[in-house]
Amino acid sequence: MRTTTTTIFALLGLASTVAADLYIFQVMSNFFTEGGTGTGDPIHVYSNRPNCKAVNNAIPLYSVDNDASSGGFACDGCDKGAIVDWPITRFEMYDGPDAVGSSTHHPTGLTSGTVGHITLRPDGDHFNLVWVSLDGKSQGIRGTCQRPAQAGRPAQDFACFGGFVSNSGVELFHCKTDLTSNVG
């Protein structure tokens, strides 16, 4: 086989398309307000293993009626026992252009894809990361994700305190993808 410069650049391009990391964490937030205290169970998405500065500045995504078609995230199996043992069969995150923020707080997409939603589909020892456009059409597999146990290692976790909020989190997924996080 004859190798050409074009072939080498094409192969390098393929090798770099799935180069970014996405870390998805389930978080327990406790916060204090003028009216008292509150709690929440959002997810956070990061491009790197998070430190407390990233955790305390992260934009939380919440699940509303287990539906991610217009915001937040949805998960089947995310409520049975310890987080590391959850039998997840469906995990989706809304990734439209207004996924995080609001009209007055610089809305942006969750990732560099930003025109649909991300679905993680189980496939043997991993999950395929599939990006779906807002009209419901699959844009193909954009990477793979693993639960910590699938990767043969313990889950990462964190406990961070800042101002009037404390956040503790446990890793749900580590993904290799060509999408990058806009929020963490």
Does 42 reside within a domain? yes
**Which helix H or strand E contains 133, and what residues bound it?**
strand 126-133
User: At residue 14, does pLDDT exceed 70?
Assistant: no
Half-sphere exposure of 86 (CA within 13 A, CB side): 21
Does 2 reside within a domain? no
Contact 170, 12 (CB under 8 A): no
User: At residue 65, does pLDDT exceed 60?
Assistant: yes
Q: What is the dihedral of CA 32, 35, 38, 44, to 10 degrees?
A: -60
pLDDT at residue number 12 = 37
d(CA 91, CA 41): 15
**Average pLDDT across the chain, whole number:** 78
Q: What angle do CA 137, 141, 147 make, to 5 degrees?
A: 120
Does 95 reside within a domain? yes
Most confident of 61-65, 75-79, 82-86, 143-147: 143-147
Within 10 Å of residue 1's Cβ, how many Cβ atoms?
3
The pLDDT-based confidence of 5 (bands split at 50, 70, 90) is very low
pLDDT at residue number 131 = 84
Print the domain residue range for 155: 20-177
pLDDT at residue number 146 = 94
Does 72 reside within a domain? yes
Does 120 reside within a domain? yes
Does 6 reside within a domain? no
Q: List pLDDT tens digits, range 126-176.
A: 999 998 887 778 788 989 999 998 889 999 999 998 777 888 999 999 999
Q: Count structural domains, the chain.
A: 1
- Burial (CB count within 10 angstroms: exposed 0-12, middle 13-18, buried 19+), residue 102: exposed
Pick the more confident residue, 125 or 36.
125
DSSP state of 181: B
Does 61 reside within a domain? yes
CA 10 to each of CA 4, 13, 17, 54, 142: distance values in angstroms, whole numbers, following the listed order:
10, 5, 11, 35, 18
End-to-end CA distance of the chain: 44
Written as one letter, the residue type at 85 is: D
Does 159 reside within a domain? yes
pLDDT at residue number 34 = 72
Pick the more confident residue, 182 or 21.
21
Contact 151, 118 (CB under 8 A): no
